[in-house]
Amino acid sequence: MLVVRPIAISDYEALHTCAVESGHGFTSLPVNEELLTNRIKHSEYSFTKPNVTSPSDEGYLMVGFDSETGEVAGTTGIEAAVGWDVPFYSYHISTIVHSSPKLNVNNVVKLLTFGNNYTGCSEICTLFLRPEFRQGLNGKLMSKCRFLMMAEHPHRFSKTIFAEMRGVSDENGNSPFWQWLQEHFFSIDFTMADYLTGIGKKGFIADLMPKLPIYINLLSKEAQAVIGQVHHKTRPALKLLEKEGFTCRNYVDIFDAGPSVECDIHNIDSVRNSVRVKVIVAEHSSSQDFLMCNSSFENFRATAAKAAFNREDGSAIISPKVAKALKVDNGDFIRILAQ
């Protein structure tokens, strides 16, 4: 059984393994001991931070682990509000018309405008599941456990939830979009820019990035072709978010032009359809699958398991094994989401 819990400093080696396996373009998991250690420590601080009534600088990082072996299968996270400590940059795609009635000419052109439009929004991020664990409901659990957390503790998160999707790059980490930027404005390759961003050294972006809007039709054909497109390994994650109600509002990443998708927290499908129920611990014969989490924040636990849900009295029967995984007992509350 895969169980999700807050990350601990003892998970460093496992997180490092995830960083190595995630490959190029996974900005939030750079292979850097100091950064990974700091992320773990900041997450530990965030989960234990008292009296949180609104989102600020908290970062919640979690791991999924095999309840039988203890092996870490992957990681998933949420940034409560981006842009407070370091700037969060993105490009916005807009459309303008160059028109000359005298010549009877109308040219529709698109622009990339540099900005900080997601400042203060909550970001779902750092979702990575190791290949040998990509089966059953594990992928859905690692992604949707974050929405169960938001449904149970909405005051900790912003109204707008967004995700940056990894853009197109080759097996060596080369991005067609960045290659154009590198040629005209930068003198470092994509992997270095990606790495510097991952370790928090973003000053070069503001220093070197063009401040005026960029006409997309002036970019190379290769760069134009990947704007708003996702890496082939990211397509399943994008489809899952689209089913949740996330959509692209014409914001793309400044390095690889991968799309950002967003949704109002109360319109996320898993937030709207999850139900808070009282626990009954007993063996049962139900065949219905649920994603579920406990009601604790500091000791958050989530898993995928079968349960017998009684809608009339608002209860759910879960097995002793599942109750142990969620750290709950008879009479406690959990949040469930039918699959």
Which one from 42, 153, 184, 231 is the annotated catalytic residue?
A: 231
User: Quick check: is 92 catalytic?
Assistant: no
Q: How far apart are CA 255 and CA 232, in angstroms?
A: 17
Q: Indicate if the alpha-carbon torsion angle 72, 291, 230, 259 is positive or negative.
A: negative
- Nearest CA to 145 out of 312, 26, 297 is that of 297
Torsion of CA 238, 241, 242, 243, to 10 degrees: 130
**Dihedrals phi, psi of 238, to nearest 5 degrees:** -65, -45
Give the residues across from 263 on adjacent strands: 161
Cα separations in angstroms, 250 against 66, 92, 164, 265, 274: 38, 6, 12, 19, 29
Cα separations in angstroms, 73 against 21, 95, 259: 11, 43, 26
Backbone region of residue 66 per phi and psi (left: phi > 0; alpha: psi in -120 to 50; beta: other values): beta
DSSP, residue by residue, 122-141: EEEEEEEE-GGG-STTHHHH
Q: Read off the tokens for 55.
A: 């989102």
Sequence-ordered alpha helix ranges (H) in the chain: 12-22, 33-48, 138-152, 176-184, 190-198, 203-208, 221-226, 235-244, 269-273, 320-326
DSSP, residue by residue, 33-85: HHHHHHHHHHHHHHHH-SS--S-SS-EEEEEEEETTT--EEEEEEEESSTTSS
- Nearest CA to 137 out of 258, 270, 15, 291 is that of 291
Would you say 270 and 148 are in contact if contact means Cβ atoms under 8 Å apart?
yes
Q: Read off the tokens for 82.
A: 């981006």
For the annotated catalytic residues, the residue numbers are 231
